[in-house]
Chain A
Amino acid sequence: MTADLTLADLDPLWLSVRLAAVTVTALLIVGTPLAWWLASTRSRLKSPIEALVALPIVLPPTVIGFYLLVLMGPNGPLGPVATALIGRPLTFTFSGLVLASMIYSLPFVVQPIQAALEQAGGRALEAAATLRAGPVDGFFNVAVPMATRGFVTAIVLGFAHTMGEFGIVLMVGGNIPGETRVISIALYENVEMLDYDRAHGLSAILLGFSFVALLIVYLINRRWLRI
């Protein structure tokens, strides 16, 4: 069935890959300090923040999407900010999709890193501290290397989750080729057009990709892949 797919049909796939790569990179930068704070804090705010981080798991994507449409729109709080910075609101742009995906995939990146840091932290860091390692030194040279599996899980899950994103993109994307027309949207369009062959082709690619991604995560967790 994939024989019916042309190279142009794969454009949305590359766009999704690009979106997922940018999103995960940005999430590692933002999510790692957050996960570190969550793993080490005794603050009363810990539980409320953890609940906030987990919200995208339980909220329907179209609900998040609708609020983002309003928040990022010209009358939303982010509208004037974006207009000042990039000359237009974030809706219907690749940057807007990155922001939306970061919110959507946040728990999939933060939670594995937090869990790994919690396991790695404690004693090892105390030991490092007695050897006069500062907190930053301890974080990069002790905690991070011990939490590598958590980071890999976060990267793979964040990437795969963003690849499969549909509801939010549908709400804030506007289906613009090369900008917001990602694989799930193209797939949906094929199904709606009753072009089931092409839909099967794209589905097979997405399915295969997702399976491999999850397989990697489980293999890492069972320590069959040594990292």
Chain B
Amino acid sequence: MRRFSPWATVALAAVLCLTRPAIADTVRVAVASNFLATLLTVGSGFTAATGHVVEPVAGSSGKLYAQIHEAAPFDVFLSADADRPARLIAEGLADGGSRFTYAFGRLALWSHAAASSGHDCWQVLRDGHGKIAIANPTIAPYGAAAKAVLVGQGLWLQVTDRIVQGNDLAQAYQFVATENAEIGFVGLSQVRAVAAATGCLAEVPAGLHPPIRQDAVLLRTAANPDAAKAFLAYLKSRAGRAVIAADGYDTE
């Protein structure tokens, strides 16, 4: 094996250092998995605007909360709910003044089965016999919202036997995408990119469930509080909100 010359290594390191913006800081963002793709888009706009870099750490809100609780080195927390950021503030681990709702989650009713093609999704939901995928209502805010829709429409008792629960939105999506479930409640942001060649797709009106507030907070342990604050400001800005809205979320 050929070895790299030490001088080449030093030169490469020097070039890498010099090409980075002088004041670039890294903002480490703990992000709920469902928002990761959108964060990456927002992050590249943020980098273009400020030179700072976003480093996402994706996971379920519950796991990220537990990690923050144990002093994980994150600067910002983008939760999939409002409850966990509120808890962190109450526990003195996050800055109360920094909290805001960066996105309101939206549900979509989606079927990938050929048999659903040309049908109204709500009709498939009501009259079908296959499984209905939702995210676990006890742990996932989108799952709780899906349950609220079913309860509100008077369908819950009728369809209980057909419900299968994914651990999170991504799994509810998998169940529908692989047609193991006939239909399911997924995130609107997940199916925005899907070309509905077969099956059906319907946006669930936001009024049918309590709002899915996804809150952001600045963490007390932030290593780069200034860059982190700049990121939160960018998330709240017109440019940030435009990206978020285009990906299938509502914004304030």
A74 interfacial contact with B, CB 8 Å: yes
- A189 B136 Cβ-Cβ under 8 A: yes
Q: Which 7 interchain pairs have the tightest Cβ spacing?
A: A174-B164, A192-B62, A192-B139, A175-B165, A73-B180, A91-B180, A73-B178
- B167 A175 Cβ-Cβ under 8 A: yes
Cα(A138)–Cα(B30), bound, Å: 62
- A191 B179 Cβ-Cβ under 8 A: no
- A194 B62 Cβ-Cβ under 8 A: yes
Render A59-102 as a binary contact track against B, CB cut-off 8 A, 1 for contact: 00000001001101111000000000000010110000000000
- B166 A75 Cβ-Cβ under 8 A: no
Contact of A192 (CB < 8 Å), options: B60, B165, B166, B180: B60
- B131 A73 Cβ-Cβ under 8 A: no
Chain B positions within 8 Å of A51 at CB level: none
Known: A74-B180, A192-B60. A174 touches B65 (CB 8 A): no
Interface range on chain A (Cβ under 8 Å from partner): 20 to 34
Render B157-184 as a binary contact track against A, CB cut-off 8 A, 1 for contact: 0000000111100010011001110000
Cα(A74)–Cα(B179), bound, Å: 7
A35 interfacial contact with B, CB 8 Å: no
Interface range on chain B (Cβ under 8 Å from partner): 20 to 34
- B164 A193 Cβ-Cβ under 8 A: no
Chain A positions within 8 Å of B62 at CB level: 191-194
Chain A positions within 8 Å of B164 at CB level: 92, 174-176
Q: Give 9 A-B contacts (CB < 8 Å), ordered by A residue.
A: A73-B179, A171-B174, A174-B133, A174-B175, A176-B165, A189-B138, A191-B62, A192-B63, A192-B136
Contact of A92 (CB < 8 Å), options: B87, B167, B180: B180
Cα(A174)–Cα(B178), bound, Å: 13
A139 interfacial contact with B, CB 8 Å: no
Cα(A62)–Cα(B60), bound, Å: 16
Cα(A95)–Cα(B171), bound, Å: 20
- B180 A170 Cβ-Cβ under 8 A: no
Cα(A188)–Cα(B66), bound, Å: 12
Render A168-200 as a binary contact track against B, CB cut-off 8 A, 1 for contact: 001100111000000000001101111000000
Chain A positions within 8 Å of B180 at CB level: 69, 72-74, 89, 91-92
